[in-house]
Structure 1
């Protein structure tokens, strides 16, 4: 990501421009070259901020961003490597040679950036493109509304619905995006002894987006009639299977769970299988789509305008186009919320909404594919300073409450948070998080007694978007403990690597061999998250990443004392130690979190 890369290198140069830092090389550092490079980086960053949402030709902008990113990445590696040699060398003459080499590298970078600036200035953007104006007003809405299923309250509600005294066949719906524990909740209810004893027949069928009627019928018949063999069922036609299922349920009180159904047509086709004998039978249905769950179409316009205008009415000139936008969301609550979150950051004009509608009209494919396109659109409209923050959240394990304090510390260490003269960085970072929540890209979690955010969450579909975009940008690579994507012969160049341990695989891993495809000088952040575990020769392995700036190995039970002192560019460290490390050469250190492994 070009913007984040620029911020990182600009921070390094700011340190060099500081009077004390300039003494590292005495008079041999040519301050004018440092200032020239810094000014070029500033100009490129301003260019990205100003053009993100103002151009029609987004593909050309992406190509240009990639070029800026690659040039800056390589420049930062060369400058950091040279600077590291200056810091670590003790011999005076070797230091002088290293300083000369450093100056040479600076001048090369200066020329490359000047060339890039000229190329940027020569790009002609279409003058007819209509600028998208972000509203300075903050239209907040409750992020903690009960849009999707919960756990405890919903569990009790479902039990009440299943056991109430209504004789008619009743359909009970659980609605929510993937990862919102619908299936888990349905399974808890289905397996509950107090529920199972109430019904004569119980069956569970899974549908998914591509409806396979025959597979559904085979699952249903196998659940209802236990003494039939699979071979007998396979020989029957679909109509015969429907008749067997109907007769197996006729006159009996039944509970059938239909998991992950995607269309009203599939739902209505299945209903003819289930007899209504007025004996308190129940169907429990889980779906991602509200219009599938509700037999009366829900008022999505109410949800949409409620997010945008709260209690105020929607302007009459926007109602028609608003309905068109909602239709493109195909009944997906998350899509509606994310698009509304995007629009609430724009001035509520017909032209702004029309531009979003035109983007939505260009999306084709399945409901799931269109949902991903809508989420990608919302990401593309993010201001530059929020894109890196959003992608970074995808590096945390799925389905967990993310510690806001840890997230903010890491954002600051990664230099995603831009300082303001009258505010602490932590306060600015909280504002970034609030804006991502306003846009429905991040979910608010629990709060502290003072009302500040304690935890946050991210939907699994949005997390998948983060991981996909981050890998494409070489911004970050997320590696699970059963993921073997870093094998010999496979070379990737991510800026950050996050390793998520959910089991015990890492305990038996010889890391250097497993990661032979990584080029160590490209990685500036290495973060382990998950269960506490121990890796063979992990400290030795980490020591090879000489340009690391963020290191979180707190969950690894190994001594990193001697490693920390060698990584002179570190800004953030969370690690276990057995003895105090030397911090004399860690000139950029901001955050230090250590735990002593030795005897207390």
Structure 2
């Protein structure tokens, strides 16, 4: 994690030196020295990151480096933004600011000097924390997790619940009359029961009868290829001292050749349990597993969908979902009550027992661990309530297999995906998270790696969502019709893991009771469900970068205390007052979420937010309006503007916003008063039209917008049909959405390159697609 933060900060400070060279020229040398120092610090961080879980001192050391890196970026960005803020002022004003500029230069020089001293002290403490001697005769936390994870087909769980149907399907798949070698894959999140299911199939009577040669090997995330080959060979041959000596002396190629010969004339079944990397499959499939028409099979389990699809692109993997409520309850009873499960649950324990089962989130391994814990305890309501109240602690104990399996999933993530995963922990339990919103936040935070072309950070962020879903760290909640992820959720136990890791690393904090104290070191703060009578953030002024509110009715903010904010999300906060004009003090703000707030007017000072990328002012109801002065054109970094409910006394000026990609909820008149060809990055456009809107003129007006791909026309309570013409002029539009009760039939023409048409909330009486 810290390695990622340092890498991002080094990259961004380099970008700042290039982009803000005019404003940083007098401190360029100091900034470059600071950047080079961070590069050298980064050399020690990879090993330190791996050791954080075993040593709190190392965790604190890494935390100090990360905090210093953040402070370095803040110092440079805030200074550059202050100097840049006067670039458009007149000569006399700039001259008047000259003494202030000298004072600011002296101040940033002292701040950088202080930060250098701080980094020197951190570096000097490295040997004290044992960072220098990593890996010398010590067992890493990751290796301990791997030992807990190792599987064998011998100890089959007889209490398996809810797998009857999928077991039958898997057995049938393995027994199909196909002479080619086939790969059958089981995927699912850690603890979903993949290994348990594979054991059941492996030991099935029909499978044992069909395959005269069977072997099982647990691959894991840090596999030893030669050990893997030896393990399979040992299962295929009588164990003798001669065989063992020979295998130990064999090189990799010899082992591959021996395994290939052992399997060549056999109808074999090999289970590769817990495969994490495509490379692990490639090694075995290409050189050691013959495909010679013997109807052989490989059964593969993985948390990663990409691995399964790589192993056999022609077959969809079998995906294990979490157990339903009743299956979870039945498995819990078997594990927690043992033989007594047949007699049912004692009435006084049922309510708390069902809540414990629910907290396991349908994850069989979690149910098994918690049930096993309760089996050895007194069957009293007090004892079961104690387990429920300390649920996360019981499940995440270092020697718990459930905790190990979940931690392995996190430990295997690339560093940038660890950041993304931890960020998801800020959202409340059971949240359905908009992927679009998540992408805007990640891009605003600056955690996406720089791409060669412009405006590709959003694409990189979506790729990271897909990667987390593919690894079963995040669950898909809703898909679009073109099979893109629209919303997602995080399993409760994985969210608990994210919170625990984030708190260990002082990464973020969740504030959900009046007694919570906000850490002075918090960079990311989520405020959840504060009581109505006391919505406050306390007197602490942490160096926050993200401040998110959920289920909070009202809050009072002093923006002078949050000058380092990049993200402020007030969605659904029913603020009883307008946004304070001091918002301009938050110079680095990149994401401002005001969706469904009671804010009735934005101050002119929002126009000073030069770095703002996303401004979301959408309103759920038509009568909820927000008045906006004519400042949008000043937001030169703006990428996404959601303007439904926005009102402006004069035609809104938006031309010249070269970074704008999304413009949604804008009025017809505002569009027609702007030269839309100046919006050179605009891809998505949503317009409110009425019965006076000349759609054909609109289409001609938009026909030269070269980047426009998606158009959405909103119309409510009007008959659009006589005027909905001219769409054929939009040659570049590939997606069209028509919404509102004003649509009674399809328009007379369409964009010639249209590939997707969406109709919603219309008054079409006949199905137009039948024709």
Query: TM-score scaled by structure 2?
Result: 0.46
- The CA distance in 2 between the partners of 1:105 and 1:267, in whole Å, is 68
* Structure 1 residue 109: Cα displacement: 3.4
1:578 alignment partner, one of 611, 625, 628: 628
Find the counterpart in structure 2 of residue 95 from structure 1: 101
Structure (1/2) with the larger helix percentage: 1
Find the counterpart in structure 1 of residue 563 from structure 2: 521
2:549 alignment partner, one of 489, 493, 499: 499
Find the counterpart in structure 2 of residue 478 from structure 1: 526
- The CA distance in 2 between the partners of 1:262 and 1:580, in whole Å, is 65
Structure 2 residue matching 1:565: 3-state secondary structure? helix
Structure 2 residue matching 1:369: 3-state secondary structure? helix
Find the counterpart in structure 1 of residue 45 from structure 2: 48
Find the counterpart in structure 1 of residue 647 from structure 2: 597
Structure 2 residue matching 1:391: 3-state secondary structure? helix
1:411 alignment partner, one of 442, 446, 459: 442
* Structure 1 residue 14: Cα displacement: 2.7
Structure 1 residue matching 2:479: 3-state secondary structure? coil
Q: Does 1:563 align with 2:582?
A: no
Find the counterpart in structure 1 of residue 35 from structure 2: 38
Find the counterpart in structure 2 of residue 351 from structure 1: none
Find the counterpart in structure 1 of residue 421 from structure 2: 390
1:399 alignment partner, one of 411, 419, 430: 430
Find the counterpart in structure 1 of residue 708 from structure 2: none
For 1:12-91, what aligned pairs fall within 5 Å after superposition?
Answer: 12-18=12-18, 20-25=19-24, 27-30=25-28, 32-45=29-42, 47-53=44-50, 57-89=54-86, 90-91=93-94
Change in CA separation of 1:49 and 1:419 when aligned onto 2, cut-off 3 Å: farther
1:552 alignment partner, one of 593, 598, 601: 593
Q: Tell me if the contact between 2:615 and 2:640 (Cα under 8 Å) persists in the aligned partners.
A: yes
* Structure 1 residue 384: Cα displacement: 2.5
Change in CA separation of 1:176 and 1:442 when aligned onto 2, cut-off 3 Å: farther
Change in CA separation of 1:479 and 1:126 when aligned onto 2, cut-off 3 Å: same
- The CA distance in 2 between the partners of 1:538 and 1:262, in whole Å, is 54
- The CA distance in 2 between the partners of 1:23 and 1:588, in whole Å, is 18
Structure 1 residue matching 2:563: 3-state secondary structure? helix
Change in CA separation of 1:268 and 1:389 when aligned onto 2, cut-off 3 Å: same
Change in CA separation of 1:127 and 1:477 when aligned onto 2, cut-off 3 Å: same
* Structure 1 residue 429: Cα displacement: 2.6
Show structure 1 runs of 5+ residues with no match. 151-172, 178-208, 210-259, 275-282, 305-324, 333-364
Q: Does 1:149 align with 2:149?
A: no
- The CA distance in 2 between the partners of 1:272 and 1:388, in whole Å, is 42
Structure 2 residue matching 1:52: 3-state secondary structure? helix
Find the counterpart in structure 2 of residue 175 from structure 1: 328
* Structure 1 residue 520: Cα displacement: 2.0
- The CA distance in 1 between the partners of 2:613 and 2:15, in whole Å, is 12
Map Cα deviations across residues 158-182 of structure 1 (whole Å, 9 max, x no partner).
Answer: xxxxxxxxxxxxxxx34289xxxxx
Q: Tell me if the contact between 1:34 and 1:106 (Cα under 8 Å) persists in the aligned partners.
A: yes
Find the counterpart in structure 2 of residue 370 from structure 1: 394
Q: Tell me if the contact between 1:573 and 1:592 (Cα under 8 Å) persists in the aligned partners.
A: yes
Q: Tell me if the contact between 1:3 and 1:45 (Cα under 8 Å) persists in the aligned partners.
A: yes
* Structure 1 residue 457: Cα displacement: 0.8
- The CA distance in 2 between the partners of 1:594 and 1:43, in whole Å, is 45
Structure 2 residue matching 1:521: 3-state secondary structure? coil
Structure 2 residue matching 1:477: 3-state secondary structure? strand
- The CA distance in 1 between the partners of 2:30 and 2:540, in whole Å, is 37
For 1:129-278, what aligned pairs fall within 5 Å after superposition?
Answer: 129=138, 136-137=277-278, 138-140=306-308, 145-149=320-324, 173-175=326-328, 263-264=336-337, 268=341, 271=344
Map Cα deviations across residues 104-153 of structure 1 (whole Å, 9 max, x no partner).
Answer: 44444345445545655883223234676665424258696443338xxx
* Structure 1 residue 23: Cα displacement: 1.7
Structure 2 residue matching 1:175: 3-state secondary structure? helix
Change in CA separation of 1:34 and 1:589 when aligned onto 2, cut-off 3 Å: farther
- The CA distance in 2 between the partners of 1:443 and 1:538, in whole Å, is 35
- The CA distance in 2 between the partners of 1:176 and 1:268, in whole Å, is 11
Structure 2 residue matching 1:538: 3-state secondary structure? coil
* Structure 1 residue 499: Cα displacement: 0.3
Structure 2 residue matching 1:396: 3-state secondary structure? coil
Find the counterpart in structure 2 of residue 251 from structure 1: none
* Structure 1 residue 567: Cα displacement: 3.1
For 1:337-376, what aligned pairs fall within 5 Å after superposition?
Answer: 368-373=392-397, 374=403, 375=406
- The CA distance in 2 between the partners of 1:55 and 1:465, in whole Å, is 15
- The CA distance in 1 between the partners of 2:480 and 2:361, in whole Å, is 35
Find the counterpart in structure 1 of residue 473 from structure 2: 441
Q: Tell me if the contact between 1:148 and 1:176 (Cα under 8 Å) persists in the aligned partners.
A: no
* Structure 1 residue 414: Cα displacement: 0.9
Q: Tell me if the contact between 1:404 and 1:456 (Cα under 8 Å) persists in the aligned partners.
A: yes
- The CA distance in 2 between the partners of 1:418 and 1:434, in whole Å, is 16
Q: Aligned pairs, how many?
A: 417
Map Cα deviations across residues 222-276 of structure 1 (whole Å, 9 max, x no partner).
Answer: xxxxxxxxxxxxxxxxxxxxxxxxxxxxxxxxxxxxxx998225964963879xx
Map Cα deviations across residues 9-39 of structure 1 (whole Å, 9 max, x no partner).
Answer: 4354233321x521235x5243x33222223
Q: Tell me if the contact between 2:579 and 2:601 (Cα under 8 Å) persists in the aligned partners.
A: no
Find the counterpart in structure 1 of residue 284 from structure 2: none
- The CA distance in 2 between the partners of 1:398 and 1:408, in whole Å, is 20
Change in CA separation of 1:452 and 1:547 when aligned onto 2, cut-off 3 Å: closer
Find the counterpart in structure 2 of residue 355 from structure 1: none
Change in CA separation of 1:581 and 1:51 when aligned onto 2, cut-off 3 Å: same
Change in CA separation of 1:482 and 1:111 when aligned onto 2, cut-off 3 Å: closer
- The CA distance in 2 between the partners of 1:400 and 1:55, in whole Å, is 29
Higher relative contact order (CA 8 A, sep 6+): 1
- The CA distance in 2 between the partners of 1:8 and 1:591, in whole Å, is 23
* Structure 1 residue 443: Cα displacement: 0.9
Structure 1 residue matching 2:615: 3-state secondary structure? strand
* Structure 1 residue 408: Cα displacement: 1.7
- The CA distance in 2 between the partners of 1:47 and 1:577, in whole Å, is 52
Q: Tell me if the contact between 1:394 and 1:467 (Cα under 8 Å) persists in the aligned partners.
A: yes
Q: Tell me if the contact between 2:583 and 2:605 (Cα under 8 Å) persists in the aligned partners.
A: yes
Change in CA separation of 1:392 and 1:67 when aligned onto 2, cut-off 3 Å: same
Change in CA separation of 1:567 and 1:427 when aligned onto 2, cut-off 3 Å: closer
Q: Does 1:453 align with 2:485?
A: yes
Query: TM-score scaled by structure 1?
Result: 0.57
1:126 alignment partner, one of 129, 135, 142: 135
* Structure 1 residue 430: Cα displacement: 3.3
- The CA distance in 1 between the partners of 2:339 and 2:390, in whole Å, is 15
